Each structure stands twice: as C-alpha cells, then as structure tokens.
C-alpha cells in the first residue's frame, strides 16, 4: 500500500537571520488542514513543524501568521544557542491561535 502525502505550497514567507556566519531561514507552507513552517540552516532543513507544539491535541496552525510566529520564536532561540522549544505560554504571548 502506497500512501502519498501531497503538500501544496501556496505561499512561502521567508525570514532570514544571520549570526556567526550561520544562515537560518524560515519558510511557511500550507497543508490540507492548516499551516506549518520549516527552519533551514543553509540548505538543510533542521526543523519541520506541521502541528502546533506544546498542546495536548494534534492540531495544525490556523493560519500562516501563526506558523510564522512560532517559527520566529524557535529561530530566536536557535540564534541564541538555546534549546529550540516553545511553551504554551510563549505561543499565547505571541498571538498564536490555540
């Protein structure tokens, strides 16, 4: 049985951060029931998040802005050499619809 997951990329937003010659990029992507984001270091995907982290249920980001806001939180932590995790409270504080 072959299962094919088709991800339709309708719109892509880019955020680029450069620190110590390391280039990170956030790209948002649309999926069947919402939005997600990927963080690249150079050309390599280091984080791909299609569901909202830190909540009990499996749920996609409601809109592109929510996905991008979560990605920005993670990107900030990466550029500060911190663990790239996000709490429920951080999501709320940054206006992510939960």
Domain ranges of the chain: 14-93
| Predicted local confidence at residue 58, as pLDDT | 86
pLDDT along the chain (98 residues), means of 10: 36 49 86 94 93 87 95 92 90 88
pLDDT of the residue at 97: 85
- Per the CB < 8 A criterion, the answer to whether 75 and 22 are in contact is no
* Bridge partners of residue 22, in order along the sequence: 19
Secondary structure letter of residue 18 according to DSSP? E
Tell me, what's the pLDDT at 68? 96
Residues recorded for the chain: 98
Residues 76 and 73: their CA atoms lie apart, in Å, by 5
How confident is the model at residue 16, as a pLDDT?
52
Q: How far apart are the first and last CA of the chain?
A: 34
pTM: 0.74
User: 79 φ, ψ to 5°?
Assistant: -70, -20
d(CA 47, CA 39): 5
26: β partners: 15, 39
């Amino acid at each position: 049985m072959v299962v094919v997951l088709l991800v339709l990329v309708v719109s892509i937003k880019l955020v680029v951060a450069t620190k110590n010659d390391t280039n990170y990029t956030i790209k948002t992507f649309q999926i069947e029931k919402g939005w997600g984001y990927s963080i690249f270091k150079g050309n390599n995907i280091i984080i791909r998040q299609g569901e909202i982290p830190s909540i009990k249920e499996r749920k996609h980001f409601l809109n592109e802005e929510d996905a991008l806001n979560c990605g920005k939180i993670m990107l900030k932590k990466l550029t500060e050499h911190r663990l790239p995790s996000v709490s429920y409270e951080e999501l709320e504080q940054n206006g992510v619809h939960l």
